[in-house]
Structure 1
C-alpha cells in the first residue's frame, strides 16, 4: 500500500531544497495545540496558519472542533450542521504551493464529510456539503504569506470573516490580508489577549445568507 502523503513530513528532496518544505509531525502538532487546548475546542475560535502545507495543524483543529460539535449538538442534525459550518468558517490557511492548498481543502472537507456521513447517512444534505466546500475555498488560499499576494497573479490575498447572526444566518465581510496583519500588528487573527482582533472597514460587505445557502448566489461567489 502506498504511503499517504498526509502522514509524511517530506514529499520530495527537491521540494525541501527549493522551498524548505517539511511538514510537522502528528505528535508535534498535538503537543503544540495542547498549549492552547481550550481555544482548539471552542467552536468559533479563529485560527490562521500562514504556511499551512497540506493541513496538519488545521486538520487537527477541525477534528477537535467537530468532536465538540458532535458532543453538544449531535442529536439534532440541523444544529450539528449549523455549528459544524461555524467551526469550518473559523479555520484559515495560506499556502505558497498550490497543490498543498488544494490537498488541504480536500483533506478538511474529507474530515467533515466522513463525520457528517457517519452521523446522518442518507439524511445528509448536499447543500450543507456545498456550504462547507465554499467556506474552504474562501478560507484556504494559495498565496505567499510573506508578501500577502498570490505567487503567480500577484493579486492581494483577501480573506472572508464569517459571523453567525440570528441563529441561521451568516454575515460575510472581506478583508485584505496585508491590511489585517498591519492593523493588528501580528500574524494571526487574535489580539494579544486572545480575543478576536479589531479590524477596520472591509473591502466588501455581503448581505446575510442562510448557512446552508453559501455559494448559491453569484454575489457570494469567489
Structure 2
C-alpha cells in the first residue's frame, strides 16, 4: 500500500488488478482514483478539464478512470455555467460528452467504460432535471448513448486498428455558431482515422471515412447484365449534415456530387 503524508493513496477496497493473468498478458493495472484526481489537478490540465471545448483522448482507457473524472468536472462546469434551464443543460452537457475519446484493447473494459460514462451522465442529467422541476427526455439519453459509444472504441492504439481489423475512426464534433445565452447547440460531425489525426490531416466538414458506395456492393438483377459498362452507377459519396446535438443519432447525411477534396 502506498502512503504519503499519512494518507493512503490507494483505497484498500479499490480494485487495481483484475487477475495475475491479465497483468502478465496485457500489462493491465488500473490507476487508483486518488492518483487520477491528483494528476488531473495539475496546472493546465485542471483548467482543460473545466473547459467546454477542450478534448481528451485516452489511448488506454481501461474502465474509464480518467475519462470518468474528466466528465464529472466538465458536467459540473456545465451545471454551473450552462444551466439557465433544462434545455440549455441538455444541449451543453451532450456537447461536453463529445470532447472525450478513448481506445481500449480489451472488450470487457471497453464495454464497462461506456457504461460507466453513461452512468455519470445519467446522474448529472437527473440532478439538473430535478433542480429545474423538469422531466428527462428519452432522446437526450439516446443521444448520450450514441456519442459515448461512438467516441469509445475497442482497438489497439499502437496499431491504430479496431478489434475487427478495420481502422480506428473518430468523429470531430464541431460546435457551430455559439452565442452568449444560447440554449440550442448545433454540431458538424467530421470523421478522421486515428492515423490521420496523428498526421494532422484536415477533411472538409461532414467528411465520412470510407463513404464510397460502389456498384459492386449492390446485388445485380438479370436485366442489369444487359446494361453497358459505361452506364454503371458511379460510386456514391456522402457527408454528414449539421444538426442539433440531440439529434446526432439520426445520422442525417446528403449525397455529394464531387469526391471529397482533401
TM-score, with length taken from structure 1: 0.84
Check if 1:156 corresponds to 2:202.
no
Check if 1:46 corresponds to 2:48.
no
2:53 & 2:112 partners in 1: Cα distance?
23
Tell me the equivalent position of 1:169. 186
1:218 deviation in Å? 6.6
State the secondary structure of the residue aligned to 1:212. Answer: helix
1:217 & 1:173 partners in 2: Cα distance?
12
Q: How big is the alpha-carbon RMSD for the aligned residues of Structure 1 and Structure 2?
A: 1.8
1:73 deviation in Å? 2.2
1:214 & 1:168 partners in 2: Cα distance?
11
Return 5+ residue gaps in structure 1 as ranges. Answer: 1-5, 185-198
2:89 & 2:14 partners in 1: Cα distance?
29
Check if 1:72 corresponds to 2:108.
no
1:164 & 1:19 partners in 2: Cα distance?
37
TM-score, with length taken from structure 2: 0.72
Alignment of structure 1 residues 25-174 onto 2, 5 Å: 25-35=32-42, 36-121=45-130, 123-151=135-163, 153-166=164-177, 167-174=184-191
Alignment of structure 1 residues 176-187 onto 2, 5 Å: 176-181=193-198, 183-184=199-200
**Runs in 1 of length 4+ with deviation above 2 angstroms?**
216-220
Q: Contact 2:58–2:102 (CA<8 Å) still a contact in 1?
A: yes
1:139 & 1:215 partners in 2: Cα distance?
13
Tell me the equivalent position of 1:191. none
1:107 & 1:200 partners in 2: Cα distance?
32
Q: Contact 1:130–1:214 (CA<8 Å) still a contact in 2?
A: no
1:113 deviation in Å? 0.3
Which structure is higher in RCO with an 8 Å CA cutoff and minimum separation 6? 1
1:216 deviation in Å? 2.2
1:161 & 1:102 partners in 2: Cα distance?
22
Return 5+ residue gaps in structure 2 as ranges. Answer: 1-12, 178-183, 209-238, 255-262
2:22 & 2:125 partners in 1: Cα distance?
34
2:40 & 2:108 partners in 1: Cα distance?
25
Tell me the equivalent position of 1:208. 242
Tell me the equivalent position of 2:180. none
Higher gyration radius (CA)? 2
1:7 deviation in Å? 4.2
State the secondary structure of the residue aligned to 2:102. Answer: strand
2:74 & 2:251 partners in 1: Cα distance?
28
**Superimposed CA distance per residue, residues 47-76 of structure 1 (whole angstroms, 9 cap, x where no aligned partner):** 000000000000000000000000112331
Alignment size in residue pairs: 199
2:105 & 2:116 partners in 1: Cα distance?
17
